[in-house]
Chains A and B, each alone.
Chain A
Amino acid sequence: MILRLCRRAVGEVRICVTGASLTRFLNACAEGGIMLRQMERTAWNCMEAAVSLGDFRRLPSCMGRTGCRVRIVERRGLPFVLARLLPRTALLCGLALFCALVCLVGTRVWEIRTDISPSLDRDAVMEKLGELGVGIGTPLRAIDTPSIRRQMMIWDPEISFFALNLRGNSLTVTAHAGAQPPETANDTELVSIVAKRDGVIASVEALRGAAMVSAGDAVRKGDVLIDGCVLPTREGGKAHFVRSDGRVYAYTRRSVQTVRPLERTEKRFSGKTKTRYGLCIEFRRKHYFLGKRISGGDCEKTVERRVWQLSESVRFPVSLEVQTYRYYEPEPCTRTAEDERTEMLRLALGRAAADMEDGEILSYDAQTQEKNGAAVLTLSLHVKEQIGAAVNDRELR
């Protein structure tokens, strides 16, 4: 099998030899060192055999006066395939270009992904890596991972783990910072929990300190809920100061108001679209667009980037950017407050929920009215929420 492949690589021809003295031809070939294979006698004066391309070229000089005629029956092998393809310049150029592209894609870094802790400065890490010679287009062999890891950890002592993972032509930079020491609270400091809103107490969970309120009590903003000054529980004892801790839930009322104009401009799409294609060369951060610029009229632009890749981790450094422009006409429209109610209510409830630290909306009442060409939604909420906030005693007194 391997021998056959080698023979096909150098090329071979099957010849037909015709003549009365075939034995003289065979003797001449043997003397000339020409190897005849797959010999087949087809007639008394005719035989076929396979010879390599090199032996076939030497054949005329060895034949001498044998009186035989040699005719090629079949050509096999790579040299003949290439000879057939030679006039197809574009095909050969394309093949060469593809080989060069595959070589280029497979031997350099064309994508860098990052997994860097938020406490580290990503831009600074990437800039330092660039100084160390790691970037888009860097040859894969030139990346000395242990050395780079060592230098990065020396450069920023906050980095506790650093790794460069190569997969195909994609490089993943992983940098994790060491865990920050937990913030220690000064237990001897006098801190009390006070109410940050008016309300009626629902429950008190005093983990440290003396609870000053109980369920059902009405409190105002600023009232002490859990006091840091704990009174003695026995006769002759002394009061001691602690850092209060706990959670106090109360029923509160909240009010949210949202306003939205009733007259506004809406987009009426005309159905006309234009598409623009661009090649994005990532390592040069340049875009090359085909065709004319899009100009004139109001339009909505959608950008889609198509990445070309051989596999999940081997991608080409060039991507196709498709920009789609949808033209529209701005059309003024007038809506009523009722039309806007649902959307405004959704937004107001979302805003109220986001404003609460820890709590739930028990019920709400929404009033919508039109005022000065705008819809005004007033939302009253009944909420059960945590109202305790830690305050230093110095701020309190």
Chain B
Amino acid sequence: MAFEELREEARGPQVELLGRHLATLEHHCGLIEYDSTVLRAKAHGCEVRITGENLALTALTLDELALEGEIHAVEFVSGGEETG
């Protein structure tokens, strides 16, 4: 049971913050919203919401994204991509 939870956790979103100016998000499933104050991305089991000011997407691939700017908050909102 613990192994299954660990595997689900590994498939979920992983956010890494470097100070408050750079954030990277791994295992996302696409963008929902993006502007200079908010970035919302779908992920397995939840939605990741990063808010701040002057947010700029510096890199975007199918699995990862990098965000620069003044980051105020990172939220995990339930109800993202359904786990398969």
Contact = CB atoms under 8 A, between A and B. Distances in A.
Interface residues of B, number: 14
Interface string A1-36: 000000000000000000000110011011101011
Contact of A40 (B32, B56, B60): B56
Given A33-B62, A41-B36, A27 B30 contact: yes
A26 B34 contact: yes
Interface in A93-112: none
Contacts of A22: 34
Contacts of A36: 59-60
* A27, A31, A35, A37 pick with most chain B CB within 10 angstroms: A27
A40 B59 CA distance: 11
A44 B58 contact: no
A39 interface: yes
A35 B58 CA distance: 10
Nearest to B58: A39
Contacts of A31: 62
Interface string B50-84: 00000011111110000000000000000000000
Which residue of B32, B56, B57, B62 has the most chain A CB atoms within 10 A of its CB atom?
B57
A27 B60 CA distance: 8
A29 B61 CA distance: 8
Contacts of A35: 61
B56 A23 contact: no
Interface in A256-309: none
A44 B35 contact: yes
Nearest to B28: A30
Contacts of B58: 37, 39
A114 B56 CA distance: 71
Contacts of B36: 41
Interface in B15-61: 30-36, 56-61
Interface in A146-184: none
The listed residue with most B CB atoms (<10 A of its CB), out of A22, A23, A35, A36, is A23
B32 A30 contact: no
A39 B57 contact: yes
Contacts of A44: 35
Interface in A350-373: none
B78 to A, nearest CB: 21
A35 B36 CA distance: 21
A23 B58 CA distance: 14
B46 to A, nearest CB: 18
Nearest to A36: B60
Nearest to A39: B57
B65 to A, nearest CB: 8
Given A39-B56, A39-B57, A40-B56, A23 B31 contact: yes
A41 B60 CA distance: 14
Contacts of A41: 34-36, 56-57
A30 B32 CA distance: 13
A31 B35 CA distance: 20
Contact of B31 (A26, A33, A40): A26
B56 A27 contact: no
Nearest to B64: A30
A37 B61 CA distance: 11
Contact of B61 (A23, A30, A39, A40): A30
A30 B61 CA distance: 5
Contacts of A39: 56-58, 60
Contacts of B62: 30-31, 33
Interface string A33-51: 1011101110010000000
Question: Which 6 pairs show the lowest CB-CB distances between chains A and B?
Answer: A23-B31, A27-B30, A30-B62, A39-B57, A30-B60, A23-B34
9 contacts: A23-B34, A27-B31, A30-B60, A30-B61, A36-B59, A37-B58, A41-B34, A41-B36, A41-B57
